[in-house]
Each structure stands twice: as structure tokens, then as C-alpha cells.
């Protein structure tokens, strides 16, 4: 009986954290105005988001032992994130392209290079993280990493120009009228060989 | 725990007290309802196949995705540094690489060993040899690779982790494993039922919140999101020229997707609807795999669904209760009833 009670207590806590993490995401989406819920209700959901955020330990300092234990458990059980796949809306599609310039002025175009279909999906996820990030510094670091990886295919290049953009998809009616997917410029970054010792 | 509960209950009127006790007793019975280990066999075999597909599909890119700064596509060092901000005790491949370096092995060798280790553990898990240690090893190596490659992960990784987490805690070995052949160790059917319930309840929450979040998006009502999901690279396996011919079905299908998901936690328990509902969910995942090329995602969802609800809904097995094992799956007392 005692063993069963232990299992029951664990299950209650486990399900509680799953619900808290998922509810936190739902409240955040509503409070951020990303859903069909009217903006008038945003304040209430913003409050609810703060409460759930506290429950799942997000407001605790990184060194807090309770946070370390809780986040360790959530990640180990695979329950640290919610399940809003392609929700509430399908995110934009992002693309990164490179121009590598050689000493003789020749320019070679390239894209981030992976071998397998499985890795293509992961690369897409990485580009989404770059595109959806609010931090310009984070975005720059990740693009620099991807540029550095692609640079290996262009050993003679002395500089690289990375262009980050997003794909604007037409809806079905627009598509029927002849509108086709088009990339929109978001940002461009220049890297010099001398300034980037890891690039080659 | 019992005494504190009794203290609280003692202060309540007798009818209320007895009804609470009754509810708790029913809940306990429901959670610990005896189950066969068929579901565990499905989970073990399905997840080990998932891991084998995972490792082989990433063989060519494994080092590139998991190498440290300046040696690959994404930086493992950066991913692990971000992970440490959340918690330093989350498993990661960096631990193995540090240990390997102390033995004089390079990072590339350590990454290769992690790939071979995960593949080998998955094969052992598939045949059911050293089931428990291999389930733990698979969970650790998979989680480590997912967290260390955290910048390039997506939904399939979390769902595989969930499955592996429950698998390593469940009462292994099952009867279809090699371990069972020579150990013949009887497992506790109530414990088997409990872990199956855990998986069932977790799936219900996954679908409910997934459906709810979709329903909150305007474009899941008019079919635009479905169109975008199917035409967005790298999921654009079906030509938009073909899809656009079915544009009138997109709103219906979009609504059907989130209705199917929101309805799952309620109707998967319904005696008459659970079978069609489960089949519809399985078809939805198969459709996602075929139409969008998300094969691993589709596969893991099908495995989790089949393990959680398959035995008793998709197939029934009548067996003598006294066969000396824990595999007596009664139709009347199935965890799906």
C-alpha cells in the first residue's frame, strides 16, 4: 500500500508539472496576442502566465537548488516543453544563403550543408530558432557558426556575406492567382577571414 | 500520508468522508488495474526501432550536429552552455566527451562512440537482452544527444524522450524479450497497469493541449495553416499545384485535426468511439509522415499510441488467467475499459 501511495504521489506531481508547462504556453500565447482570444482578455492571461511561470520555477535564480532539480527532472522526463506543434499558427520559414568572396574577386554562392533528410529537418528547426529569436546577438552568433561550417567548402574565400531571410507563402487563393513563394530580406552579416579564426 | 488524510477526512461529515474514500479507492483501482505486458513489448520494440532509425538517419551528420564550436554545423558547447543556465544536471554528451578526453580520446572519437553506443543499446533493447540496463543507456545517450544538439532539435526528440523515460521505469522485461526466456521472472500486473495508465494519461494531455493550441489559432479554422504546413519547406513534398485543387477540403481537414486532438482525452475511453478515434489518430500520423516527410515523428506517435491504447482496442486476446504469467488480459478488466 505504501508503495502504491508513493507511485500515486509521483504521478500526481508528474501530471501537475505537465499541465503547468502546457498551461504556461497557452497563457503566454494568449497574453502575447497570438491567438483568436480578444486582446481585452490579455491582462488576465498575462497574470495567469506569470503564476504558471512561478509554478514551473522559471522565476527562480539559476543557482537555486530547487530550480536545478526541477529543470533536471523536467528535461530528463521530456516534459520541459509544451505540445503546440504548428500551433497556434505555422511559423514562417527561414532561409540562410552565403556568398563567399575569393582574393581574386570571384564569388561563390552556397547554402548550409547537411547530408540527410533527417538533418534537413533539424537545420530547418535551427533556422526557425534564429528567425524567431528576439536577441540580435544570439542570431549573429548562430549565423556566424553556420557560416563558419559552410566556409570549409570554400577554402580560398577571404570573406563571407550571409543573408538571412524568410519565405512568404501565398495562401491558396493567391496561389491560384499566380502568386508564388518569395523570400523577404531580414538581415545580412559580413565576416572576414582574419576576424574569424574558426572560419576555416 | 494516510494519517494526515484521515485527519482531514475525520473532520468531514460521514457521507462526504465515505464518498471521498470511495472515489480514492476507485481511482486507485483504476490506476493499478492489472494489465498484460503486451503494451510494454510494443513500447520497447517500437522505441528501439525508432532509435535505430534515428541513429542511422543522422549517421552522416552526427558529428557535424554535435561537434564543439568551430568543428560542426551547430555548436555543442553553446547548446550545453544554454542548458547549464537551466540546470547543470541535465544529461548531455559533453560529460562523455570530457571523460573520453581524460582517456586520451579525441572529441570526434567520443562522438563516434556515442553513436555506436546508442545504436548498440537500441539493438539490445530491440531483442530484449539486458532490457533494463539497455533502456537506461538508450535513454541517457538519446537524451544526451538531443540536449547537446539542442539548437537543432524538434518535437520528435521530446516525444522519444518521454517514451524512453517511461520504458526505463516500467517493469521490464516483457515476455517477448530474450531476458524473459532464461529468467522467466514474473512481473507485477498491477504495476504494468500503472505504467500503462501513466502513458495513456500523458498522451491524453499531449493531444488535448496540442488540439487546444491549434484551435486558438485563427488559421486552423480556415485551412490556411494546413496549407502552410504542407507547402512550407522542407515539408513541401506534395506539389502546391496538386494541393490547391483540394482547397475546399483544407478548412474541414484543419478543423478535423484539432477536433481529433481535443476529443482524444475524452473519447479514447468511450466504449464505442475509442476504436475509430484511435484509428483516426493513427491515420493522421501516418498522413503527416507521408505528406510532410516527418517519418520519425509519425513513427514515434504511432508507437506511443499503439502501446498505450492498442492492446484491448485494436486487438483483444483471451487467455487463461492462471497461465503463470502476467499476461492475462481480460476483456472486461482491460485498462481501456
Residues of chain B contacting A84 with CB distance shorter than 8 Å = 209-210, 213-214
Among residues of chain A, what percentage have pLDDT more than 70?
A: 96
pLDDT at B150: 80
Beta-strand pair A182-192/A157-168: antiparallel
pLDDT, one tens digit for every residue, chain B (337 residues): 455 555 666 677 776 778 888 888 899 999 999 999 999 999 999 999 999 999 999 999 999 899 887 777 878 999 999 999 999 999 999 999 999 999 999 999 999 999 999 999 999 999 999 999 999 999 999 999 999 998 888 899 999 999 999 999 999 999 999 999 887 776 789 999 999 999 999 999 999 999 999 999 999 999 999 999 999 988 999 999 999 999 999 999 999 999 999 999 999 999 999 999 999 999 999 999 999 999 999 999 999 999 999 998 988 765 433 333 344 344 334 555 4
Looking at the partner chain, which of B2, B162, B244 has a beta carbon nearest the beta carbon of A79? B162
pLDDT at A159: 93
Q: Does A195 touch chain B (CB under 8 A)?
A: no
Q: How far A104 CA lies from chain B's nearest CA (Å)?
A: 26
pLDDT at B323: 33
The DSSP string of B10-43 is HTS-HHHHHHHHHHHHHHHHHHT----SHHHHHH
Is residue B66 within 8 Å of B72, Cβ to Cβ?
Answer: yes
Interface contacts (A, B; CB < 8 Å) = 217
The rounded mean pLDDT for chain A is 90
pLDDT at B183: 79
**Domain residue extents for chain B:** 34-313
Give the model confidence (pLDDT) of A188-198 as tens digits: 999 987 644 44
Distance (Å, whole) CA B110 – CA B146:
16
Closest-approach residue (CA) in chain A for B160: A78
pLDDT at A29: 93
The answer to whether the peptide bond before residue A112 is cis (omega within 30 degrees of 0) is: no
ipTM over 0.95: no
Q: How far B337 CA lies from chain A's nearest CA (Å)?
A: 20
Is residue B104 within 8 Å of B97, Cβ to Cβ?
Answer: no
Q: Which of A53-57, A168-172, B205-209 has the highest mean pLDDT?
A: B205-209
Residues of chain B contacting A176 with CB distance shorter than 8 Å = 244, 247
Amino acid at each position: 500500500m505504501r508503495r502504491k501511495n508513493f507511485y500515486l504521489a509521483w504521478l500526481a506531481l508528474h501530471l501537475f508539472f505537465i499541465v503547468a508547462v502546457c498551461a504556461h504556453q497557452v497563457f503566454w500565447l494568449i497574453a502575447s496576442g497570438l491567438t483568436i482570444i480578444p486582446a481585452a482578455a490579455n491582462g488576465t492571461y498575462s497574470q495567469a502566465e506569470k503564476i504558471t511561470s512561478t509554478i514551473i520555477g522559471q522565476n527562480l535564480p539559476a543557482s537555486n537548488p530547487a530550480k536545478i532539480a526541477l529543470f533536471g527532472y523536467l528535461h530528463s522526463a521530456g516534459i520541459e516543453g509544451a505540445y503546440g506543434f504548428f500551433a497556434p499558427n505555422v511559423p514562417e520559414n527561414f532561409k540562410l544563403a552565403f556568398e563567399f568572396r575569393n582574393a581574386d574577386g570571384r564569388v561563390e554562392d552556397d547554402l548550409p550543408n547537411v547530408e540527410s533528410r533527417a538533418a534537413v529537418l533539424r537545420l530547418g528547426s535551427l533556422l526557425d530558432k534564429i528567425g524567431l529569436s528576439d536577441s540580435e546577438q544570439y542570431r549573429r552568433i548562430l549565423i556566424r557558426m553556420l557560416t563558419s561550417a559552410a566556409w570549409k567548402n570554400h577554402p580560398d574565400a577571404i570573406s563571407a556575406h550571409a543573408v538571412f531571410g524568410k519565405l512568404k507563402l501565398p495562401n491558396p487563393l493567391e496561389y491560384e492567382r499566380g502568386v508564388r513563394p518569395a523570400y523577404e530580406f531580414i538581415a545580412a552579416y559580413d565576416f572576414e577571414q582574419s576576424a574569424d579564426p574558426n572560419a576555416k | 500520508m494516510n494519517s494526515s488524510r484521515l485527519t482531514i477526512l475525520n473532520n468531514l461529515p460521514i457521507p462526504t468522508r465515505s464518498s471521498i474514500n470511495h472515489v480514492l479507492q476507485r481511482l486507485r483501482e483504476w490506476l493499478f488495474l492489472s494489465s498484460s505486458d503486451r503494451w510494454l513489448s510494443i513500447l520497447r520494440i517500437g522505441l528501439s526501432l525508432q532509435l535505430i532509425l534515428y541513429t542511422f538517419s543522422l549517421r552522416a551528420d552526427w558529428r557535424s550536429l554535435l561537434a564543439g564550436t568551430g568543428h560542426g554545423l551547430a555548436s555543442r558547447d553553446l547548446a550545453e552552455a544554454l542548458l547549464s543556465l537551466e540546470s547543470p544536471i541535465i544529461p548531455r554528451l559533453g560529460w562523455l566527451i570530457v571523460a573520453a578526453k581524460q582517456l586520451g580520446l579525441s572529441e570526434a572519437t567520443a562522438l563516434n562512440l556515442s553513436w555506436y553506443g546508442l545504436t548498440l543499446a537500441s539493438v539490445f533493447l530491440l531483442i530484449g537482452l539486458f532490457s533494463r540496463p539497455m533502456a537506461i543507456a538508450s535513454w541517457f545517450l538519446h537524451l544526451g544527444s538531443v540536449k547537446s544538439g539542442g539548437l537543432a532539435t524538434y518535437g520528435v526528440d521530446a516525444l522519444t524522450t518521454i517514451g524512453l523515460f517511461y520504458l526505463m521505469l516500467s517493469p521490464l522485461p516483457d515476455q517477448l524479450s530474450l531476458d524473459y526466456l532464461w529468467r522467466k521472472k514474473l512481473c507485477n500486473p498491477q504495476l504494468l497497469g500503472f505504467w500503462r495508465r501513466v502513458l495513456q494519461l500523458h498522451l491524453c494531455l499531449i493531444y488535448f493541449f496540442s488540439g487546444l493550441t491549434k484551435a486558438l489559432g485563427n488559421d486552423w479554422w480556415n485551412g490556411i495553416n494546413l496549407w502552410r504546413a504542407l507547402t512550407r519547406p522542407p515539408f513541401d513534398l506534395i506539389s502546391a499545384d496538386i494541393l490547391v485543387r483540394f482547397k475546399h477540403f483544407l478548412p474541414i481537414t484543419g478543423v478535423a485535426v484539432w477536433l481529433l486532438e481535443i476529443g482524444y482525452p475524452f473519447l479514447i475511453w468511450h466504449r464505442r468511439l475509442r476504436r475509430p478515434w484511435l484509428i483516426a489518430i493513427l491515420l493522421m500520423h501516418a498522413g503527416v509522415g507521408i505528406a510532410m516527410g516527418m517519418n520519425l515523428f509519425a513513427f514515434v506517435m504511432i508507437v506511443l499510441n499503439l502501446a498505450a491504447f492498442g492492446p484491448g482496442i485494436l486487438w483483444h486476446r483471451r487467455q487463461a488467467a492462471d497461465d503463470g504469467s502476467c499476461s492475462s488480459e481480460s476483456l472486461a478488466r482491460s485498462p481501456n475499459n
